[in-house]
Amino acid sequence: QVQLVESGGGSAQAGGSLKLSCAASAASPYILSGCAMAWYRQAPGKERELVSRIGSAGTISNADSAKGRFTISRDKSKNTLYLQMNSLKTEDTAMYYCAACYSTGGDLGYMGYTYWGQGTQVTVSS
């Protein structure tokens, strides 16, 4: 069993910064060690979309919208995932979700992740 809890969301002005955190807990401290983790977001009226992903070995994949502005990182010693967001835009406004442990068996997108947090709201104003 894995539990993910996001924090760090809030309001910011365009051009500002926010840092999101995802605290992970598990029945065994080794459950997450081999898992990829990712940040997704979902804005009103839109589908959930990938923001950034970091693999179990540290490889990073970013959505085009995040490149050059957002940085994902992971502190395995603290079981915490981070998303540093700089140069925020109004279109970054969304609920941001932490996800962990991608299933095998095909390209399932966000549905491939086994564990999810409840989300943290990010609102960017002009």
Chain segment 45-64, per-residue pLDDT in tens: 999 999 999 998 999 999 99
E strands of the chain, at which residues? 2-7, 10-13, 18-26, 37-42, 49-54, 60-62, 70-75, 80-85, 94-102, 113-116, 120-125
Please report, in angstroms and rounded to a whole number, the separation of the first and last CA atoms in the chain: 41
Give the per-residue pLDDT at 104.
Answer: 75
Give the per-residue pLDDT at 108.
Answer: 85
Contact yes or no for 19/83 (Cβ under 8 A): yes
CB atoms within 10 A of CB 69: 15
What is the tens place of the pLDDT at every residue in 77-88?
A: 889 999 999 999
pLDDT reading at 29 higher than 80: no
3-state SS assignment for residue 11:
strand
DSSP structural state of residue 105:
S
